[in-house]
Structure 1
């Protein structure tokens, strides 16, 4: 661990003198004249993610001056763990006072490397922070975010439905959560036919399953989280081209993010009765793969015509969401890497939020901007229900038009959620395409900081 929380920060740790561009002229004045001249000579102006290493009179490391965007920036220190000289550091009291949560979060995110298959190049620098509730919260957030990234980054060979279930058990065990699985043909016996239909082609080695985690006091309000767990998506018989299939190990990104959010709910001890549901499948091709034109009856009783086997995520979600709604939770949230249309509309960094409650949608957008963990409210435009109607069944899993694909996918799910059920649907990318400090290219946790803040506000006051 490159972050240490200590009751007493060691005096021997090297100071990090933090400054924003705005604060730099005043902070600069407090430095020795020789140091000012050196910093001016190298052009240091406290721009974010820049630093200068300062020696003492014996040529040893004395201090590091670093530029940050803001005192509460969740990536304030992310540029530094992997580039500073290996050693132990502390925050200098003479610089801009960083929020302890932001300091802890940004340092751990900045040190993140997915190193399961390739060793790190060097030992990272260590930051020592005073122990306290805010720094502990920052560490908890970072731990959940990094674990989410790890799940998404793990190749499908080592992250199939069974391994995803083991990950849920691993997260739940320290909190005393209960985890159960309904696997393979038992899905049919327990009335989860849509999950079975999508995943049956990968059985028996990678059999489909519904993973359910429960935690908390049954007397508390119920919170149900559902995450799309398509561990690999070939597209099925409507097979994807090679470039479209290359990143499909991340098609369980909704499940990874839902599990990360569940981990935070448990770690922060929110007063809720938590239910996490992950329909875990591989959308494979074999002789018993589901086909375009097939019609399946779902748990809710509605029938689905398969217009396209590559629109499988909504099919597995509908059974899980119908099951969640049977116990009438106070709030249902589903997270899914559901549509390319959402990425076309909003790009990779803005998850699409769908909710029937317009005021709640605005609240979450504002909160996301505040947390620098954004999402954007999109319309559940009911007239577009006509685009997923079919004479063969109650609903088609693919729209009759290529337009409004994220909306029609959300409207498909809308049919499986009672009108009086509070519900958030989040269509996310779960991947970073442009490397920046604390955000390497690869699997990503999106909306977790915003959602946990929202859940604390809603359930813990």
Structure 2
């Protein structure tokens, strides 16, 4: 690799109080009052450029000496259901280089600062840096360090998804996990080779055809000090600190295997490790904030390639859980590697189990690229997930774990098939398949992601995206809270 995939990808906030040009966010209702406060020359200028407070509009208001005095930024109908709370993320792409600060009551300062940083992201690994980007001064009264940590974690995850497979295989995903662990005092264990074939046979089978060896990456972290009190779920570990396990699908590239994809279907398959990137980004946020929980991150990292020892349609494979799986389609490999990782997680009896995966096209057909599907049997947890998505501006939509559809996964020769074999309910049957491998953990959420922004939106540049990572951090922070003053301890 020519550079670490975890290199910083965006500038942070400037210190509060730094001299800067004001940016006034103006909703439709704010414009009449703001317009009345303009000087005659400024009002004439806004009229000349036909500024109005429609969403995304911009006016660079000059001072009498010709320098930039202020920025007017239209927000549109901020009370409307379609209002995009990340709209200020457009500003880094619209403004000239310089220092800026948020002004007035039209913008939520914390949300706008995060949107700005998310919109400042650029993937610059393979080409020279562009012109200097505008910088934002931290708004007064916000947790600038928290906002910076979240944006940095998202940037790291985006870098991983955007890095092409020639520079990001299973070994490099491991490198990224080790770099993350080193920063936060976590521990990493990796299972590969004969041990992987013995203990995680599905991960081994999916990755066996690639010259880049498959592996199971196991990162563990805990805060240094653990209070002895029960966890929120009542399923505490011995010292009272709840255990959360994140599982991320780490398919560095997916050809489809012997059920090979058409060329158009492979163009974005570098993003098939988007679940692993989301898990690592969420872990970065959790460890950086020192949340009061024990964190474990499991990433089965493979490349689904084609060679003489590739697994075949019709093969029957063993799994870590003891269930035999008939292969109906080798392009449904993600659920296979997740199955072994989920079986390991389930045996640990976590308080909360979350898996992230770019798993099915069916979820994209149902909900589009911007709205990941999530599945859980826990009604209370489902409400928490939806609320966290709204709070973090990281939206999701719950889909049903319709138990009768499990019959679509029946096999005549094995305990179950890895696909339903028909065109219906693909996202649901995939989720039901995964649930077979974590039967003891009721508090289990499965996210079916796209992991990519097909076009640029405010705060979401075109390219790789770590959907649901910010949601999960908000969920864990709300559930378990806490924070550390001491450096974390590995384990």
TM-score (norm 2): 0.88
2:470 alignment counterpart: 449
Query: Which moved further from structure 2: 165-174 or 268-277?
Result: 165-174
Q: Distance in 1 between matches of 2:204 and 2:11?
A: 43
2:7 alignment counterpart: none
Change (3 A) 1:132 1:287: farther
1:338 and 2:359 aligned: yes
The question of whether the paired residues in 1 share the 8 Å contact of 2:87 and 2:458 is answered with: no
The partner residue of 1:211 within 198, 211, 217 is 217
1:87 alignment counterpart: 98
1:175 and 2:181 aligned: no
Aligned residues: 454
The question of whether the paired residues in 1 share the 8 Å contact of 2:349 and 2:440 is answered with: no
1:108 alignment counterpart: 117
Provide Cα deviations, 1:47-94, integer angstroms capped at 9, x if missing partner. 2222111222221222222223559965242112233121122223xx
The partner residue of 2:55 within 44, 48, 59 is 48
2:170 alignment counterpart: 161
TM-superposed CA distance for 1:101, in Å, is: 2.1
TM-superposed CA distance for 1:133, in Å, is: 5.0
1:63 and 2:70 aligned: yes
Query: Which moved further from structure 2: 25-34 or 386-395?
Result: 25-34
Query: Which moved further from structure 2: 162-171 or 131-140?
Result: 131-140
Question: Secondary structure at 2:209's aligned position in 1?
Answer: helix
TM-superposed CA distance for 1:128, in Å, is: 1.4
For residues 298-337 of structure 1, the aligned pairs below 5 Å read: 298-337=319-358
1:438 and 2:459 aligned: yes
Provide Cα deviations, 1:239-267, integer angstroms capped at 9, x if missing partner. 00001111100000011001111111111
Q: Distance in 2 between matches of 1:3 and 1:84?
A: 17
2:44 alignment counterpart: 37
2:488 alignment counterpart: none
Q: Distance in 1 between matches of 2:65 and 2:242?
A: 62
TM-superposed CA distance for 1:130, in Å, is: 4.3
Question: Secondary structure at 2:244's aligned position in 1?
Answer: strand
1:78 and 2:86 aligned: no
Question: Secondary structure at 1:129's aligned position in 2?
Answer: coil
Q: Distance in 2 between matches of 1:438 and 1:258?
A: 20
The partner residue of 1:192 within 191, 197, 200 is 200
2:226 alignment counterpart: none
Question: Secondary structure at 1:290's aligned position in 2?
Answer: coil
Q: Distance in 2 between matches of 1:336 and 1:426?
A: 6
The partner residue of 2:31 within 5, 21, 24 is 24
TM-superposed CA distance for 1:3, in Å, is: 3.5
TM-superposed CA distance for 1:186, in Å, is: 2.5
The question of whether the paired residues in 1 share the 8 Å contact of 2:381 and 2:443 is answered with: no
TM-superposed CA distance for 1:131, in Å, is: 6.5
Question: Secondary structure at 2:307's aligned position in 1?
Answer: coil
1:10 alignment counterpart: 18
The question of whether the paired residues in 2 share the 8 Å contact of 1:100 and 1:135 is answered with: no
Q: Distance in 2 between matches of 1:279 and 1:427?
A: 16
Q: Distance in 1 between matches of 2:387 and 2:139?
A: 31
The question of whether the paired residues in 2 share the 8 Å contact of 1:353 and 1:427 is answered with: yes
Q: Distance in 2 between matches of 1:181 and 1:29?
A: 64
For residues 203-352 of structure 1, the aligned pairs below 5 Å read: 203=211, 206-217=212-223, 219=239, 220-352=241-373
Q: Distance in 1 between matches of 2:84 and 2:148?
A: 15
Provide Cα deviations, 1:105-129, integer angstroms capped at 9, x if missing partner. 1111111111111224321111112
- For CA contacts below 8 A with separation 6 or more, give which structure has more relative contact order: 2
Provide Cα deviations, 1:372-411, integer angstroms capped at 9, x if missing partner. 3111111111111110000111010011322111111111
State the superposition RMSD in angstroms.
Answer: 1.9
Q: Distance in 2 between matches of 1:383 and 1:119?
A: 54
1:152 alignment counterpart: 161
For residues 299-448 of structure 1, the aligned pairs below 5 Å read: 299-448=320-469
Q: Distance in 1 between matches of 2:284 and 2:222?
A: 12
Q: Distance in 1 between matches of 2:67 and 2:253?
A: 51
Change (3 A) 1:188 1:3: closer
Question: Secondary structure at 2:89's aligned position in 1?
Answer: coil
Q: Distance in 2 between matches of 1:90 and 1:360?
A: 38
Question: Secondary structure at 2:60's aligned position in 1?
Answer: strand
The question of whether the paired residues in 1 share the 8 Å contact of 2:346 and 2:440 is answered with: no
The partner residue of 1:139 within 141, 148, 151 is 148
The question of whether the paired residues in 1 share the 8 Å contact of 2:101 and 2:139 is answered with: no
Query: Which moved further from structure 2: 117-126 or 295-304?
Result: 117-126
TM-superposed CA distance for 1:173, in Å, is: 1.4
Q: Distance in 2 between matches of 1:340 and 1:73?
A: 26
TM-superposed CA distance for 1:427, in Å, is: 0.5
Structure 1: gaps (5+ residues): none
TM-score (norm 1): 0.94
TM-superposed CA distance for 1:29, in Å, is: 1.6
Provide Cα deviations, 1:10-39, integer angstroms capped at 9, x if missing partner. 33x222222222211112222223212321
Question: Secondary structure at 1:311's aligned position in 2?
Answer: coil
The question of whether the paired residues in 2 share the 8 Å contact of 1:233 and 1:248 is answered with: yes
